[in-house]
Chains A and B, each alone.
Chain A
Amino acid sequence: MKEKTMFEEDLKKLQKIVEELSSGKITLGESLKKYEEGVRLAQSCSKTLADAQRKVELLMKKDGKFDLEKFDEPAQEEEK
Chain B
Amino acid sequence: MQKAIKHIYTVSELTQEIKGLLEQKLGELWIEGEVSNFKAASSGHFYFSLKDQGALISAAMFAYANKGLKFKLEDGLKVICFGKIDVYGPRGQYQIIVERIEPKGIGSRQLAFEQLKKKLEQEGLFDLKHKKSLPLMPFSVGIVTSIKGAAVRDILQILKKGAPGVDVIIRSVRVQGDQAAAEIAAAVEELNCFGKIDLIIVSRGGGSTEDLWPFNEEIVARAIYNSVLPVISAVGHQINTTISDLTADVFVETPTAAAKIIVDKKNALIAELTGARHELDFSVTELVNGLKNRLIGLTHMIKSPAERLLEKQQFLDELFSGLNYNMQHALELAGERSSSLIERLRTLSPLSILSRGYSLSMLIPQGTIIKDAGQIKPGDRLKTVLHKGAFISLVQEVIGDEGKNDV
- Tell whether, in the assembled complex, residue B169 and residue A11 are in contact, meaning their CB atoms are under 8 Å apart: no
State in angstroms the CA–CA spacing of A57 and B11 once bound together.
74
The main secondary structure of chain A at its interface with chain B is helix
Contact with B276, one of A31, A42, A54, A68 (Cβ below 8 angstroms): A42
Any A CB within 8 A of the CB of B168: yes
Contact with A59, one of B170, B269, B280 (Cβ below 8 angstroms): B170
List chain B residues, Cβ under 8 A from A17: 280
Interface 1/0 per residue, B287-313 and A, CB below 8 Å: 110110000000000000000000000
Of B116-124, B159-167, B220-228, B347-355, the stretch lying at the interface with chain A is: B159-167
Of B24-32, B135-143, B238-246, the stretch lying at the interface with chain A is: B135-143
List chain B residues, Cβ under 8 A from A68: 169
List the interface of chain B (C-beta within 8 A of A).
135-137, 139-140, 142, 147, 152-153, 156-157, 159-160, 164-172, 190-191, 193-194, 266, 269-270, 272-274, 276-277, 279-280, 282-284, 286-288, 290-291
- Tell whether, in the assembled complex, residue A31 and residue B273 are in contact, meaning their CB atoms are under 8 Å apart: no
List chain A residues, Cβ under 8 A from B277: 39, 42
State in angstroms the CA–CA spacing of A39 and B280 once bound together.
8
List chain A residues, Cβ under 8 A from B140: 4
- Tell whether, in the assembled complex, residue B190 and residue A51 are in contact, meaning their CB atoms are under 8 Å apart: no
Closest Cβ of chain B: how far from A47's Cβ, in Å? Answer: 10
Q: How many A residues touch B, CB cutoff 8 Å?
A: 40
- Tell whether, in the assembled complex, residue A46 and residue B280 are in contact, meaning their CB atoms are under 8 Å apart: no
- Tell whether, in the assembled complex, residue A71 and residue B147 are in contact, meaning their CB atoms are under 8 Å apart: yes
- Tell whether, in the assembled complex, residue B167 and residue A21 are in contact, meaning their CB atoms are under 8 Å apart: no
- Tell whether, in the assembled complex, residue B165 and residue A21 are in contact, meaning their CB atoms are under 8 Å apart: no
A-B pairs with beta carbons under 8 Å apart, 20 shown: A8-B136, A11-B269, A11-B272, A15-B276, A18-B279, A21-B279, A21-B287, A39-B280, A42-B280, A46-B270, A49-B165, A54-B165, A58-B169, A58-B172, A66-B190, A71-B168, A73-B160, A76-B157, A77-B153, A77-B157
State in angstroms the CA–CA spacing of A76 and B190 once bound together.
29
State in angstroms the CA–CA spacing of A46 and B167 once bound together.
17
List chain A residues, Cβ under 8 A from B136: 7-8, 11
Closest Cβ of chain A: how far from B37's Cβ, in Å? Answer: 47
- Tell whether, in the assembled complex, residue A74 and residue B153 are in contact, meaning their CB atoms are under 8 Å apart: yes
- Tell whether, in the assembled complex, residue B170 and residue A61 are in contact, meaning their CB atoms are under 8 Å apart: no
Among A38, A46, A59: residue with most chain B CB under 10 A: A59
In the complex where A24-B286, A45-B273 touch, is A18 in contact with B280 (Cβ < 8 A)?
yes
List chain B residues, Cβ under 8 A from A15: 276
State in angstroms the CA–CA spacing of A71 and B273 once bound together.
32
- Tell whether, in the assembled complex, residue A46 and residue B168 are in contact, meaning their CB atoms are under 8 Å apart: no
- Tell whether, in the assembled complex, residue A38 and residue B286 are in contact, meaning their CB atoms are under 8 Å apart: no
State in angstroms the CA–CA spacing of A20 and B406 once bound together.
121
List chain A residues, Cβ under 8 A from B159: 54
List chain A residues, Cβ under 8 A from B157: 76-77
Closest Cβ of chain A: how far from B290's Cβ, in Å? Answer: 7
- Tell whether, in the assembled complex, residue B280 and residue A52 are in contact, meaning their CB atoms are under 8 Å apart: no
List chain A residues, Cβ under 8 A from B194: 59, 66
In the complex where A28-B291, A49-B266 touch, is A18 in contact with B164 (Cβ < 8 A)?
no
In the complex where A7-B136, A21-B283, A50-B165 touch, is A61 in contact with B190 (Cβ < 8 A)?
yes
